[in-house]
Amino acid sequence: MSDQDFEPVHGLPQHLPAGEHILWQGVPSWKALALRAYHVRKVAVYFGILLAWRMVTAVSEGSTPLGLLQALIPLTLVGTAGVGVLGGLAYWCARTSIYTITNRRVALRIGIALSITVNVPYRIVDTAALRVYADGTGDLPLRLLGKDHIAYVPLWPHARPWRLAKPEPMLRAVPDAARVARILSAALEASRVGRPATASAVDLPLPGIRAVA
């Protein structure tokens, strides 16, 4: 049994206040998290280079096939374990995370060992950004106004990389990110002009979303 079993609303620690409703909920893609947050591919390439170097060195020193095998097995095991651990962390990070967009806020329920909910009301959001990758997943960081601040360490990996002085909460590795960005854009715009935001706003353009490199 987990903390999520006691949630009054899936992904949220409390019932929604009167007048607030959910526009979208989703979870990160664990494969995209593994690649871009936990850098599984880079780690695999690193160990691949080490293995190639070890093989070339052993052959140049006249190692026998058995000696070559003995030289490569430990490094192969370490590399496989490292990639496996990072992949497992990405999987559980995705399993324990839920992103929620309502007509009033963005909520991030995050945390593998200790679950927390980070609420970002639209009144403290300066701008939102969007980066879409080739697989259709994408990242949507939120830049906050003024002195509003959320600590970087509890947020990671749900924070824009390297924004340490003023962290930006981020919906990371979101599937179908362009559609989610349209929903968020409509909600942000609606919150600023005082009109209702509805899920049908997905077909609107993205006036409140800027692209990031």
DSSP string, 22-37: EEEEE---HHHHHHHT
Please indicate, yes or no, whether residues 207 and 106 belong to a single structural domain of this protein.
yes
Please indicate, yes or no, whether residues 123 and 197 belong to a single structural domain of this protein.
yes
Please indicate, yes or no, whether residues 24 and 103 belong to a single structural domain of this protein.
yes
Q: Is the pLDDT of residue 194 over 50?
A: yes
- pLDDT tens, 139-155? 999 999 887 778 899 99
- Residues paired with residue 169 on neighbouring β-strands, in sequence order: 159
Looking at the structure of the chain, the number of domains it has is 2
Please indicate, yes or no, whether residues 9 and 57 belong to a single structural domain of this protein.
no
Please indicate, yes or no, whether residues 135 and 178 belong to a single structural domain of this protein.
yes
The residue with tokens 């496996």 is 84
- C-alpha 119/C-alpha 191 separation (Å) is 16
- pLDDT tens, 82-110? 999 999 999 999 999 999 999 999 999 99
Phi, psi for residue 73 in degrees, rounded to 5: -60, -50
Long-range contacts formed by 122-125: CB under 8 A, 24+ apart: 122/187, 122/188, 122/191, 122/192, 123/191, 124/148, 125/188
More confident residue, 89 or 59: 89
Model pLDDT, residue 206: 45
Find out whether 134 and 145 touch, Cβ atoms under 8 Å: no
- Residues paired with residue 102 on neighbouring β-strands, in sequence order: 22
Where does residue 63 rank: exposed (0-12), middle (13-18), buried (19+ CB within 10 A)? middle
Domain's final residue, options 69, 93, 117? 93
Please indicate, yes or no, whether residues 105 and 204 belong to a single structural domain of this protein.
yes
Angle at 174 between CA 140 and CA 13, to 5 degrees: 85
- The parent domain of residue 77 ranges over 34-93
Find out whether 28 and 91 touch, Cβ atoms under 8 Å: no
Q: Is the pLDDT of residue 207 over 60?
A: no
Please indicate, yes or no, whether residues 200 and 108 belong to a single structural domain of this protein.
yes
Please indicate, yes or no, whether residues 162 and 187 belong to a single structural domain of this protein.
yes
Please indicate, yes or no, whether residues 83 and 183 belong to a single structural domain of this protein.
no
Please indicate, yes or no, whether residues 172 and 186 belong to a single structural domain of this protein.
yes
Q: Is the pLDDT of residue 41 over 90?
A: yes
**Least-confidence region, from 42-46, 61-65, 197-201:** 197-201
